[in-house]
Amino acid sequence: MKYEETTRRRNVIYKGKIVALRRDDALLPNGQACVREVVEHPGGACVLCLHEGKVVLVRQFRYAYGEELLEIPAGKLEGGEDPAAAAKRELEEETGLRAERMNLLFTLYPSPGYCDEKIYLYEAEQVTSGVRHPDRDEFLDVCELAPETAFRYMEEGVIRDAKTIVALLFLKEKLSAGH
């Protein structure tokens, strides 16, 4: 069966640096009025990258959680940027590594109940070393882990970021299948 909700009125509550927020008047599939809150986000790109056999992660403080998290390199799309280009840029800015090619693994919808963000998850191919040049307001450490260590961190809940868990589960399956 096909369900659809329709917009009666878009109401912008906030337009900020990273997110915007709407509180729309909409109609449910049965025609009943409802309110839908939507967090708008420009989308992001992230990279599963192996360097000398290790998984490349970055550790940074995440204000929303008040915690340091271990994540794969990632960042938001700048002004309609191509996601593969953004993935290359973020990888190089954050870790100094360059990838010749980016292979799209998944387009992830992180929280579809209220958010329109799309996260493009790539696998870096033909990786070479370069020079780090993080954004001025980015404070992070690069952390290269043996795959087995990364998998254990994921299983123990040390790694909690969803896109990173998708990347690690993908890698685990790939390594066990012996591709």
Q: What's the closest the beta carbon of residue 56 comes to its own copies, in angstroms?
A: 17
Residues of this chain that bind its own copies (CB under 8 A): 1-5, 13-14, 16-19, 21, 23-24, 26, 28-30, 32, 34-39, 41, 44, 60-65, 68-69, 71, 74, 76, 106-117, 119, 137, 139-141, 154, 157, 160-163, 165-166, 169-170, 172-173, 176-177
Query: CB within 8 A of 60, min separation 6: which ones?
Result: 68, 69, 71, 138, 139, 140, 141
Q: Tell me, what amino acid is at 61?
A: F
Q: Please say whether the beta carbons of 140 and 126 come within 8 A.
A: no
Q: What's the closest the beta carbon of residue 147 comes to its own copies, in angstroms?
A: 13
Of the two residues 100 and 141, which places its CB atom closer to its own copies in the complex? 141
Nearest alpha carbon to residue 74 among 164, 154, 151 = 164
CA 50 vs. chain centroid, Å, equals: 17
Of the two residues 98 and 160, which places its CB atom closer to its own copies in the complex? 160
For residue 155, give both structure tokens.
Answer: 């299983």
Q: What's the closest the beta carbon of residue 128 comes to its own copies, in angstroms?
A: 25
